[in-house]
Amino acid sequence: MILQKRLLLSAMALAMTGVTQPAAAAPWVRGYVVGAYEYAFRYGGRPDYSRGAEIEPGIDCEHGASTHFANDSQTKIAVARQKWRSPQEIDWISKPPGLDDVRAPVLTRFWIWNRAVAYRGYKKEIETYVNPWATDDPGQPQVTSRIGDGFNLDGRIKPSDFVSPDGEKGIDNNLYRAWGCDAPWRGNGNATLDLRANDKMQDGLYTMVFRVSGNQDPMNDSDATVEVGYLPDKIVKDARGNVSVDYSYRILKSAQYTKLKATIKNGVVESEQIEHLHTPRIAWFYDQTGDTNFTKGKIRLNIAPDGHTGTGLIGGYRNWRDLYAENTFAQDGGQQGIREHEDHVALYYALRRNADGMPNPKTGKNDGISSVYRIKFASAFVVDPDGPMEVPKLVREEERKAVFEAIKASTIRGTETRVPQLVPPGTTEFGAGITEGLLTDLPSKDFFLKTLYRQHYPGEDADGYPKWMQEYRRHPEGGIAPPKPQPQQPAKPQQQVNEDGAAPGRKTALN
């Protein structure tokens, strides 16, 4: 009774003085659809740089960008590393004689180089990109800048860590250190593979959304929740090709979904750090799509004051072998090397060298590399579907995705056992048919057909196509849906090799 009187008197006093009570907090929800999704690499361009054969070094890559296979001199350096190649082979591969006599000289040279750089192992039968450990490290220019975007994932401040643009120390983003100087990822919003991935995402390959909710205020909430996940609905764009705002999307609570606790201060959403953070992967082909599965992952979202747009970061440790395979075999290693000016053998060693998380108790080495992805998003209505749903599958692409998973598994098995693996059937990595067809008018074709090794399969026809390739070859759209791969015969157990790769003469699955 006494307490009630005191509360009543207090209320009367406040009313007399004109002081109003704050309104009770109400639940709130905001949704966002991602319109740009890329690796959080920075770009330190140099305005005084005169572009030549080398990709612009920039202030973050003072030793230059990856220049492998950008021209004949770089290709010659790469193939000359193999001691089993003859001087004539090295010279003729880099500058094929009689190239001006063929109908498609640029394309013919491209596929000669593709075949040559795909077989750079210590034995000519070893396919390079499935077995990158079986050749020497050609060297990868690495980021030398101290500035990097990301998070302090390990809770420590180390001399090798980056410093964020706003001064935070201890930033872990070794994926940027290892990969940030590669040409197709360098640009100020216009890097070629970033543009490709975002274009495919916006055209419907996959869609990602965030849903942020709480009970205090959308811009300041000490007990908020952030959800991230895949959705089956395609991004809606306006007449200018930009992501439209305030359309409805369904979020699937599938393998690519995570719900985290978070706090919000002045529009900055900071999530908790959790053991496994699941989001969609960066991809430009259906093969690559799937779950990122960041270890010790977290999210930061910077929401604009009007609440309509924002930017953010997603980070954690990813298995570096997965990253290698997802990017190498989206096309094939040779195409990535020649067209995109990357060398994935060099990338393999750079990723392995910079692995800084997910320690493996069996090997004593790190399986993970600190990785940060950058996003831009627009407001949307994010709702739950009417019933449980899984990530839809593109039936026509499932066989191709199975082939991708097979070559990824072979690559990981080889890196772990140091036993050379064969190229699984059905992949473009095998290199049959195209090169042979382009060599028809080349005066030096007999030399290249004899010296440019490729893996062979039983039952090949006169043009070099194996049986499983016949349907692929006849497909009206160029083999978009190759046949289902056949199980590969297990290799006989062989002696393992050391960490630096086997020397010629040691026993392997190809002896």
Per-residue model confidence as pLDDT tens digits over 235-244: 999 988 889 9
User: Are 265 and 398 in contact, with CB atoms under 8 Å apart?
Assistant: no
pLDDT of residue 222: 96
pLDDT over 70 for what percent of the chain? 81
Please name which of 211, 151, 271 lies closest in space to residue 27, comparing C-alpha atoms. Answer: 211
Per-residue model confidence as pLDDT tens digits over 122-175: 998 899 999 999 999 998 889 998 999 999 999 999 999 999 999 999 999 999
Please list, in sequence order, all residues whose beta carbon lies within 8 angstroms of the beta carbon of residue 306, skipping any fewer than 6 positions away. Answer: none
Q: If you average pLDDT over residues 62-88, what whole number do you get?
A: 84
pLDDT of residue 504: 37
User: What end-to-end distance do the CA atoms of the chain give, in Å?
Assistant: 94
Euclidean distance between CA atoms 282 and 269, whole angstroms: 22
Per-residue model confidence as pLDDT tens digits over 296-349: 999 999 999 998 999 999 999 999 999 999 999 988 888 888 888 889 999 999
Q: State the DSSP code for 165.
A: T
pLDDT of residue 407: 93
Does 509 score more than 80 pLDDT?
no
Per-residue model confidence as pLDDT tens digits over 247-271: 999 999 999 999 999 999 999 999 9
Strand pairing report for 258-265 and 221-231: antiparallel
Q: If you average pLDDT over residues 401-411, what whole number do you get?
A: 93
pTM score: 0.84
Poorest-pLDDT segment among 93-97, 248-252, 498-502: 498-502
Euclidean distance between CA atoms 199 and 209, whole angstroms: 16
In angstroms, what is the C-alpha Rg of the chain? 27
Strand pairing report for 28-39 and 366-383: antiparallel
Q: If you average pLDDT over residues 391-419, what whole number do you get?
A: 92
Please name which of 439, 353, 352, 382 lies closest in space to residue 210, comparing C-alpha atoms. Answer: 382
Does 281 score more than 90 pLDDT?
yes
Report CA torsion sign: 490, 495, 499, 505. negative
Structure confidence at residue 477 as a pLDDT band (50, 70, 90)? very low
Secondary structure of residue 122 in the 3-state scheme: coil
Structure confidence at residue 66 as a pLDDT band (50, 70, 90)? low
Does 403 score more than 80 pLDDT?
yes
Please name which of 480, 499, 36, 488 lies closest in space to residue 242, comparing C-alpha atoms. Answer: 36
Euclidean distance between CA atoms 109 and 93, whole angstroms: 8
The tokens for 346 are: 């060099």
User: Are 103 and 89 in contact, with CB atoms under 8 Å apart?
Assistant: no
Structure confidence at residue 191 as a pLDDT band (50, 70, 90)? confident
Per-residue model confidence as pLDDT tens digits over 11-29: 444 344 444 444 456 899 9
